[in-house]
Amino acid sequence: MKITSRNLRLCLTPVAIACCSVSLAQDKPPGYPSRPIRIVISVAPGAGSDMVARLTAQIMSEKLGQNVVVEPRPGGGGVIATTYASKAEPDGYTLYQNGFGLLLLGATKRVPFDVLKTFDPVVRTTSQPYILLANTGLPVKSVKELVNYAKSRTVTYSGSSGIGSTVHIGMQRLASLSNMKLKYVAYKGSAPSILALMGGEINMAATSAMSAIAAMKTGKVRGLATLGLKRVPVLPDLPSVAEQGFPGFSITNSYNLWAPAGTSPAIITALNALVSKGMNAPAIEQRLAASGSEAVDPMSPKQLKTELARDYAELEKSVKELGLKF
């Protein structure tokens, strides 16, 4: 049997778990935390990012015995929240949750600072694909039909956190591959964009699986595809874009927790351990799976930093190749 980190966690004895708890307490700076912690997010309440942040806050609060609040600061495609979080004291009491959106802001030069030097990664919490939704008034039921339809007329769409977001760049790449005419319309997050989609203000929206599932239940929108490489277990009948003529194409997102650069390594290490353990607890994994998301295997802050630096370099290359201007 292949031994993975997940298998190993399941084999831990109560004694080993108790030792881990003691180690965590010893690794934290004495007295931390002594007051509430806040997690800043860049989208409006109700979006997938908001749901994950609140779940993270719940885990932290239970483990640390201190209030952890989520503070939404939507707008500007993530610029407002990112700039705000960048000015916070590096004391462990202000954290910032963002996925690839933070890297995009740096790669597209929409913030006047180096994001990888301004923030230190703490932990990767979850991963999930985006789902492409269409208003029921759009006469297409598959990606193939969408491509044929959008070659002769402009189709509007939204999603994620604005211009320069993961969805924006990903869909522009799809438009380039298929010769579709797509126009991005910015909203302050997934929740407002889905409301606009239901109301017929836009034709399509790409949103997290968590948000998409709830929207599809209303009957006002239909799913065209999952934008990940594989189907989502809770939406088994919804094919991926890759299955529908674009092998290898995907738009996925993972949520990372960041701290202002200079935050104590002991605090970062402690938060990494407790959030990773909490997200991979069976009860939490079940909740995530039901919403189309999943926890990720534990990764140290150093490993995460290395991976994000690689992602950033690839993203800069993609932005240049697509000729995107912001």
- The pLDDT value given to residue 39: 98
Position with higher pLDDT, 162 vs 158: 158
**pLDDT by residue (tens digit) across 267-303?**
999 999 999 999 999 999 888 887 778 888 899 999 9
- 310-to-104, 299, 303, 307 alpha-carbon distances in Å: 13, 15, 11, 5
CATH of the domain at 112: 3.40.190.150
Q: Give the Cα separation of 303 and 274 in Å (integer).
A: 17
- Give the pLDDT band (50/70/90) at residue 160: low
> Average per-residue pLDDT in the chain?
86
- Give the pLDDT band (50/70/90) at residue 18: very low
Q: Give the Cα separation of 186 and 145 in Å (integer).
A: 24
Position with higher pLDDT, 228 vs 86: 86
- Give the pLDDT band (50/70/90) at residue 27: low
- The pLDDT value given to residue 94: 98
Could you give the number of structural domains in the chain? Answer: 2
Predicted TM-score of the model (pTM): 0.73
- The pLDDT value given to residue 5: 37
CATH of the domain at 238: 3.40.190.10
Q: What are the residues facing 135 on neighbouring strands?
A: 221
Which one of 198, 225, 244 terminates a domain?
Answer: 244
- Give the pLDDT band (50/70/90) at residue 167: confident
Query: Of 101, 47, 151, 96, which Cα lies nearest the Cα of 261?
Result: 96
- The pLDDT value given to residue 276: 96
Q: Is 9 inside a domain boundary?
A: no
Please answer whether residues 208 and 130 qualify as being in contact, where contact means their C-beta atoms are separated by less than 8 angstroms: yes
Query: Of 64, 52, 118, which Cα lies nearest the Cα of 87?
Result: 118
pLDDT at 307 over 80: yes
Q: Is 8 inside a domain boundary?
A: no
- Give the pLDDT band (50/70/90) at residue 14: very low
pLDDT at 111 over 60: yes
Which one of 217, 244, 271 terminates a domain?
Answer: 244
Q: 38: Cβ–Cβ under 8 A, 6 or more apart, which residues? A: 68, 69, 70, 71, 93, 94, 95
Judge if 92 and 121 occupy the same domain. yes
Please answer whether residues 254 and 100 qualify as being in contact, where contact means their C-beta atoms are separated by less than 8 angstroms: yes
Judge if 138 and 286 occupy the same domain. no
Residue 264 belongs to what domain range? 14-128+253-322
Judge if 107 and 161 occupy the same domain. no
For residues 128-147, give the mean pLDDT. Answer: 94
- Give the pLDDT band (50/70/90) at residue 161: low
For residues 180-184, give the mean pLDDT. Answer: 95
Which one of 208, 224, 244 terminates a domain?
Answer: 244
- The pLDDT value given to residue 164: 65
- Give the pLDDT band (50/70/90) at residue 190: confident
Judge if 306 and 173 occupy the same domain. no
- The pLDDT value given to residue 141: 96
